[in-house]
Amino acid sequence: MEIKKNNYFWQEKNLQQLTGDEWESLCDGCARCCLHKLEDEDTGEIFFTRLACRLLDIPSCRCTRYAKRCELVEGCLDLRVGFSQFHWLPSTCAYRLLAEGKALPQWHPLVCGDTQAMHAAGIGIGSFAIAESPSLDPSDFVVEWLV
């Protein structure tokens, strides 16, 4: 993937106008979206848990079957198709930030040029996530983000 340095395309286009490479480059690789979530039926509030999707390689925060993820995992969403679904993403996610008219954070790889800055800022889930299991109740593993 080739993205020109100092090309702040995300400030000049809306999400629907991005090329495929531009879209993919917005993902910081935190894998927070790969954690199981709970939704309060009354308020709609979303709660993240430490339980990660079975397809996620937790230490690297990478999906092991990215191209086929939506076929393999019920409920996995292609964000480019589900444009109205940003509300359940973490508040740090570039897609949600841009959908809400906000700026990307300083640790974002496209802003600082360092793919590790996101981890240094405590955004990645590799240090605390655990693999999902039928024996684990997600409500026992709710997390609160520090950032």
Binding site residues, ligand SF4, CB under 6 A: 27-33, 89-90, 93-95
70, 76 Cβ separation under 8 angstroms: yes
Measured from the CB atom, is 105 or 138 closer to ligand SF4?
105
Smallest gap from Cβ 137 to ligand SF4, in A, equals 23
Measured from the CB atom, is 30 or 99 closer to ligand SF4?
30
Smallest gap from Cβ 42 to ligand SF4, in A, equals 25
Smallest gap from Cβ 34 to ligand SF4, in A, equals 7
Indicate the residue type of 31: A
Measured from the CB atom, is 32 or 141 closer to ligand SF4?
32
Smallest gap from Cβ 136 to ligand SF4, in A, equals 21
Measured from the CB atom, is 131 or 137 closer to ligand SF4?
131
130, 58 Cβ separation under 8 angstroms: yes
Residue 104 Cα distances to 46, 67, 82, 98, angstroms: 22, 26, 21, 7
